[in-house]
A and B are shown apart, each in its own frame.
Chain A
């Protein structure tokens, strides 16, 4: 019997379909973006697209700056609002999943419907659609992404550590600041990445809640790919910049607990 021809089914083989999927739908598109970034006017190869973007002639850098700021503020607000919520959920209702569910429930409604309804409410309140409403929409949409990882980490903190610090005479505030918060740092970090990255790349929220007046990085990429003709090049450069931001923040998440603490 020819052993070479025999297909040996190992557990590894189960991963092949997904590997194929990854290559086809993640690796290949990324390579295409990379190639497109160097192509101008359909045939020329060069750095024209990079020059175009980094010279800020089309306002690309301004838009990136604005997006980073809005992403930062959104993340901060989500953290400030989300941490206490996650904390109390974990502390008093660790076993009560219904309450957790209540906070995830808005996520079950399609986010476009949610955002469109928010717009209607703002208009009914006679509020001017602009930066404020966009920020509200961002926090509203991304808050669950902050609460969930925080809740998961807070619930899994070993109660004995908290009791120990209390036994050693720490006040409630000290326990929170010196025991619970440091132990929940991994949750904070993953919450931040899960909020920050979508917040800087979104385009639907700003499009709807400011009637496209607030123009963010996601809107700009969208414009180059779907509204302009022959502008894939600059759009690809922007996507690459976005990719770099994603990689940086992922490096940040992959640091282990100890390293996170030293960074903060």
Chain B
């Protein structure tokens, strides 16, 4: 009996060992790996979906290391100093430009139809979803970054990157307070344009007394510079200069001493109108009513907008308190894209391309838009035409018939935000505000021809890296921030108080001294 147990035990141990060995031997063959470097909170919970997608196409498993960064600057430093080795990463447009110029990127040829067939059956080639990407954003990228000098050759950024998400810079404002001030109408808003940030009605007059001290500016050098430049153009302050007729795409990148000085003056004058500068607290200040206007990015604006639902508005039917728009004459559009740094692991090439492909699938795009709030570079019509993608969005936005509760049951109608898919689609894709005249989620969907303030695609510019002029802009910003603030009165008041106190003490002491003497004398 004992012998048998011993034998059985040996057998079990042996089989366990051999299983383990097999597992060890098999693992490296079937599991690929990939290192992704992305902004924090800039992707949905993609891991399971991507693993399934990868297995489906290649038959292999994949392990993903996911690392995040907070600013383009940290990302660039880490990559170029060799602190971390990543396969694929997602910087902003100007950071991609910088990396390209310093020859840090590997060509992707994602848009080259010739090189990669769209054939799933042939695993040597890559399925690519470039056909899904919005042609408008592709054109914009080509317009701004079509010719970048790298060493002695000229390259196009599109050969090195795949756009991921994009957004605009615009004005987030409190609709209700604007109504109270009597400035919430098509005419006023579209005439004032970027002047709203400067309390200027577009003709150089004060827009509204009530806006005084309720304007927030973004504590971001590039964005504030761009907004100021747009204001300069639209309020005619560039009249008579060579910048007067420059297209926005050029003007935004024509950084020079003249423009920087003009911005400096306007920004310094603006300070008296401001509630303050913000980075993170702007949304809160607007929602709480501390400020009425803020310079904002579309994704942040979306978040604030959806938070601002108020049941009491609109005669009890409820409405959003905040609104966001890109003024019609000029605007900035920015984007982030996937690139491969030169230090990547060439063995991971397949995984990299499949990862990018996966993200440009309409379903992944829908999931990302739901999670992040910015606009995916995938064409809205493609998302709209894809039933699976629409189901993802509908569940996320609580559309009746799609939204589920924690147990997986369909939500009752009264708990849903939208009754039908059509109603939701209209909100999501065609959310055109007639008053401020904009569709902010899809800025390329232009206002209707009937609108007197019709905008077109040329009014949106992409901002390149400031390059050599960056320093001057930083100096300008430092000057603006320090201007008009003086602690000298504080010092003088303090010295005055000290002097008064000293005099009082001196008098008291003197009195005591004299009194003492008097007492002595009288004796």
A residues contacting B by CB (< 8 A) are 41, 52, 57-60, 62-63, 65-67, 69-70, 72-73, 76, 123, 128-129, 131, 135, 208, 210-215, 219-220, 223-224, 226-231, 234
**Closest partner residue, chain B, to A211 (CB atom):** B276
A215 to B486, CA, bound (A): 10
B residues near A57, Cβ cutoff 8 Å: 475, 479
Given the complex, which residues of A lie within 8 Å of B491, measured CB to CB? 69, 72-73
Given A59-B479, A220-B478, residue A231 in contact with residue B471 (CB < 8 A)? yes
Nearest residue (CB) in A for B277 is: A212
Given contacts A212-B219, A213-B277, contact A223 B487 (CB under 8 A): no
Instruction: Show 30 A/B contacts (Cβ-Cβ < 8 Å), sorted by A.
Output: A52-B475, A57-B479, A58-B477, A58-B478, A58-B479, A59-B483, A60-B482, A66-B487, A69-B487, A69-B488, A123-B290, A211-B281, A211-B285, A212-B276, A212-B278, A212-B481, A213-B271, A213-B485, A214-B485, A215-B481, A220-B478, A220-B481, A227-B221, A229-B73, A229-B466, A229-B470, A230-B470, A231-B470, A231-B474, A234-B474
The reply to whether the CB of B490 lies closer than 8 angstroms to some CB of chain A is yes
In the complex, what distance in Å separates the CA atom of A229 from the CA atom of B477?
A: 12
Give the top 5 A-B pairs by smallest Cβ distance, nearest first.
A211-B276, A59-B482, A58-B478, A212-B277, A69-B487
State the CA gap A2–B466 with chains docked (Å). 64
CB distance from A107 to the nearest CB of B (A): 24
Is B471 touching A41 in the complex (CB atoms < 8 A)? Answer: yes
CA distance A65 to B490 in the complex (A): 12
**Whole-angstrom distance between the Cβ of B70 and the nearest chain A Cβ:** 9
Are A211 and B278 in contact, CB atoms less than 8 angstroms apart? yes
Taking A211-B216, A213-B271 as contacts, is the C-beta distance between A223 and B481 under 8 angstroms? yes
Q: CB distance B483 to A227 under 8 Å?
A: no
Interface residues of B in 288-311 (CB under 8 A from A): 288, 290
A-B interface pairs (CB < 8 A), number = 106
B487 touching A227 by the CB < 8 A rule? no
The answer to whether B71 touches A226 (Cβ under 8 A) is: yes
Cβ–Cβ contact A213 & B274, under 8 A = yes
Report yes or no: A63 in contact with B475, Cβ–Cβ below 8 A.
no
Instruction: Report the separation of the CA atoms of residues A128 and B274 in the bound assembly, to the nearest whole angstrom.
Output: 12
Residues of A within 8 A of B488 (CB): 69
A228 and B221 contact, CB distance less than 8 A:
yes
Nearest Cβ on chain B to A128's Cβ, whole angstroms: 8
Restricting to B262-282, which residues have a CB under 8 Å from any CB of A? 271, 274-278, 281
Q: Which residue of chain B lies nearest to A49 when distances are taken between CB atoms in the complex?
A: B471
- A224 lies within 8 A of B494 (CB): no
A-B contact sample (5 more), CB < 8 A, given A73-B487, A211-B275, A220-B482: A57-B479, A66-B482, A66-B485, A229-B73, A230-B471
Q: Are A227 and B219 in contact (CB under 8 A)?
A: yes
Cα distance A66–B221 when bound, in Å?
22
Cβ–Cβ < 8 Å partners of A223 in chain B: 474, 477-478, 481
What CA separation (Å) do A62 and B491 show in the bound complex? 14
* Closest B residue to A224 using CB positions: B474
Residue B458, interface by CB 8 Å: no
Q: Which residues of B contact A212 (CB under 8 A)?
A: 219, 276-278, 481
Question: Which of B71, B475, B480, B490 is within 8 Å of A131, CB to CB?
Answer: B490
Output the least CB separation between B459 and chain A (Å): 26
CA distance A210 to B481 in the complex (A): 12
Query: From A222, which residue of chain B is reached at the shortest CB distance?
Result: B219
Q: List the B side residues contacting A62 at CB < 8 Å.
A: 482, 485-486
Is A73 a contact partner of B490 (Cβ separation < 8 A)?
Answer: yes
B481 touches which of A59, A67, A208 (Cβ 8 Å): A59
With a CB–CB cut-off of 8 A, which chain B residues contact A224?
474, 478
Q: Which of B275, B281, B470, B487 gathers most chain A CB within 10 Å?
A: B487
Report whether A228 and B477 are in contact in the complex, using a CB–CB cutoff of 8 Å. yes
Partner of B475, one of A41, A58, A65, A73: A58
Q: A129 to B276, Cβ gap below 8 A?
A: yes
Asked whether, in the complex, the Cβ of A76 is within 8 Å of the Cβ of B275, the reply is: no
Q: Would you give the 0/1 interface string for B479-505, flagging 1 where the beta carbon is closer than 8 Å to chain A?
A: 111110111101100100000000000
